[in-house]
A and B are shown apart, each in its own frame.
Chain A
Amino acid sequence: MNSSKSTVPFKGTPEQEAQLVAFVEEKKDSQGALMPILQKAQEIYGYLPIEVQKIISDRTGISLEKIYGVVTFYAQFSLYPKGEYTISVCLGTACYVKGSGDIYDKLQEMLGIAGGECTADGKFSLEACRCIGACGLAPVLTVNEDVYGRLTVDDVDKIIAKYA
Chain B
Amino acid sequence: MENITVKINGSEISVPKGTTVLEAAHMAGIEIPTLCYMKEINEIGACRICVTEVNEGRGFRLVAACVYPCSNNMEILTSSPKVIEARKKTIELILSTHDRKCLSCVRSGNCELQKLCKDYGVDDAGVFDGERNIYEVDNSAAHMYRDNNKCVLCRRCVAVCANTQGIGVIGANERGFKTFIGSAFDMGLGETSCVSCGQCIAVCPVGAISEKDYTKEVLAAIADPEKTVLVQTAPAVRAGLGECFGLPVGTNVEGKMVAALRKLGFDKVFDTDFGADLTIMEEAHEFIDRLKYKSGVLPMITSCSPGWVKFCEHYYPDLIDHLSTCKSPQQMFGATAKTYYAEKMGIDPKNIVVVSIMPCTAKKFEIGRDDQSAAAGCPDVDYALTTRELGRMIERAGINFHALPDDKFDEPLGISTGAGVIFGATGGVMEAALRTAIHELTGENVTDLNKLRGTDGIKEATYDVGGVEVKVAVVSGLANARIVLDKIKSGEADYQFIEIMACPGGCVNGGGQPQVPMSVRNFTDIRKERAKVLYDLDSSMPLRQSHENPAIQEMYETFFGKPGSRKAHKVLHTSYVKRSVN
Chains A and B come from one and the same complex? yes
Tell me the A64-103 residues at the B interface (CB within 8 Å). 64-69, 72-74, 79
Rounded to whole angstroms, the CA-CA distance of A94 and B391 in the bound complex is 62
Rounded to whole angstroms, the CA-CA distance of A57 and B187 in the bound complex is 16
Contacts of A31 in B (CB 8 A): none
Contacts of B185 in A (CB 8 A): 3-5, 50, 64, 68, 79
Contacts of B186 in A (CB 8 A): 1-4
Contacts of A42 in B (CB 8 A): none
Rounded to whole angstroms, the CA-CA distance of A65 and B173 in the bound complex is 8
B188 interface contact, C-beta 8 A: yes
Does A65 contact B188, Cβ atoms closer than 8 Å?
Answer: no
A119 interface contact, C-beta 8 A: no
Of the candidates B167, B171, B174, B192, the one having the most CB atoms from chain A within 10 angstroms of its own CB is B171
Does B173 contact A1, Cβ atoms closer than 8 Å?
Answer: no
How close is B317's CB to chain A, nearest CB, in angstroms?
Answer: 13
Does B169 contact A72, Cβ atoms closer than 8 Å?
Answer: no
Does A72 contact B175, Cβ atoms closer than 8 Å?
Answer: yes
Please judge, given known A-B contacts A1-B138, A63-B168, whether A69 and B173 are in contact too, CB under 8 Å: yes
0/1 per residue, B162-184, Cβ < 8 Å to A?
A: 10000111111111000000111
How close is A31's CB to chain B, nearest CB, in angstroms?
Answer: 17
Contacts of A67 in B (CB 8 A): 184
Contacts of B162 in A (CB 8 A): 63, 66
Contacts of A53 in B (CB 8 A): 184
B442 interface contact, C-beta 8 A: no
Does B171 contact A69, Cβ atoms closer than 8 Å?
Answer: yes
Contacts of B171 in A (CB 8 A): 63, 65-66, 68-69
Contacts of B192 in A (CB 8 A): 65
Contacts of B581 in A (CB 8 A): 57-58, 64
Rounded to whole angstroms, the CA-CA distance of A64 and B95 in the bound complex is 31
Contacts of B168 in A (CB 8 A): 63, 65-66
Rounded to whole angstroms, the CA-CA distance of A65 and B161 in the bound complex is 11
Of all chain B residues, which has the CB nearest A57? B581
Rounded to whole angstroms, the CA-CA distance of A73 and B177 in the bound complex is 11
Of all chain A residues, which has the CB nearest B172? A69
Does A64 contact B140, Cβ atoms closer than 8 Å?
Answer: no
Contacts of A2 in B (CB 8 A): 186
Tell me the A43-70 residues at the B interface (CB within 8 Å). 50, 53, 57-58, 63-69
Contacts of A74 in B (CB 8 A): 175
B582 interface contact, C-beta 8 A: yes
How close is B507's CB to chain A, nearest CB, in angstroms?
Answer: 25
Majority-rule SS of B interface residues: loop
B136 interface contact, C-beta 8 A: yes
Does B173 contact A68, Cβ atoms closer than 8 Å?
Answer: yes
Of all chain B residues, which has the CB nearest A70? B171
Does B170 contact A65, Cβ atoms closer than 8 Å?
Answer: yes
Of all chain B residues, which has the CB nearest A1? B188
Rounded to whole angstroms, the CA-CA distance of A74 and B176 in the bound complex is 11
Does B184 contact A65, Cβ atoms closer than 8 Å?
Answer: yes
Q: Within the complex, which residue of A5, A63, A69 is in contact with B167, where a contact is CB–CB below 8 Å?
A: A63
Contacts of B173 in A (CB 8 A): 68-69, 72
Of all chain A residues, which has the CB nearest B580? A54
Please judge, given known A-B contacts A5-B185, A53-B184, whether A72 and B174 are in contact too, CB under 8 Å: yes
Q: Within the complex, which residue of B169, B187, B582 is in contact with A1, where a contact is CB–CB below 8 Å?
A: B187
Does A64 contact B582, Cβ atoms closer than 8 Å?
Answer: yes
Tell me the B552-582 residues at the A interface (CB within 8 Å). 581-582
How close is A4's CB to chain B, nearest CB, in angstroms?
Answer: 5
Contacts of A65 in B (CB 8 A): 168-171, 182-184, 192
How close is A41's CB to chain B, nearest CB, in angstroms?
Answer: 15
Of all chain B residues, which has the CB nearest A62? B168
Contacts of B174 in A (CB 8 A): 72-73
Contacts of A63 in B (CB 8 A): 162, 167-169, 171, 184
Please judge, given known A-B contacts A63-B169, A66-B168, whether A50 and B184 are in contact too, CB under 8 Å: yes
Rounded to whole angstroms, the CA-CA distance of A1 and B340 in the bound complex is 44
Contacts of A50 in B (CB 8 A): 184-185
Of the candidates B171, B184, B188, the one having the most CB atoms from chain A within 10 angstroms of its own CB is B184
How close is B169's CB to chain A, nearest CB, in angstroms?
Answer: 6
Tell me the A108-164 residues at the B interface (CB within 8 Å). none
Please judge, given known A-B contacts A1-B140, A63-B168, A66-B162, whether A73 and B175 are in contact too, CB under 8 Å: yes
Contacts of A79 in B (CB 8 A): 185
How close is A143's CB to chain B, nearest CB, in angstroms?
Answer: 29
Contacts of B188 in A (CB 8 A): 1
How close is B579's CB to chain A, nearest CB, in angstroms?
Answer: 14
How close is A153's CB to chain B, nearest CB, in angstroms?
Answer: 26
Rounded to whole angstroms, the CA-CA distance of A53 and B582 in the bound complex is 11
Rounded to whole angstroms, the CA-CA distance of A57 and B174 in the bound complex is 19
Contacts of B175 in A (CB 8 A): 72-74
The residues of A with any CB-CB pair to B shorter than 8 Å are 1-5, 50, 53, 57-58, 63-69, 72-74, 79
List, sorted by A's number, 6 A–B pairs whose CB atoms are closer than 8 Å. A63-B167, A64-B582, A65-B169, A65-B182, A66-B162, A67-B184
- For the complex of A and B, the 10 pairs showing the least CB-CB separation, nearest first, are A63-B168, A68-B184, A64-B184, A69-B171, A65-B171, A65-B184, A73-B175, A1-B188, A4-B186, A72-B173
For the complex with contacts A63-B162, A68-B184, A69-B172, 15 further pairs of A-B residues with Cβ separation under 8 Å are A1-B136, A1-B138, A1-B186, A4-B185, A5-B185, A57-B581, A65-B168, A65-B171, A65-B192, A66-B171, A68-B183, A69-B173, A72-B174, A73-B172, A73-B175
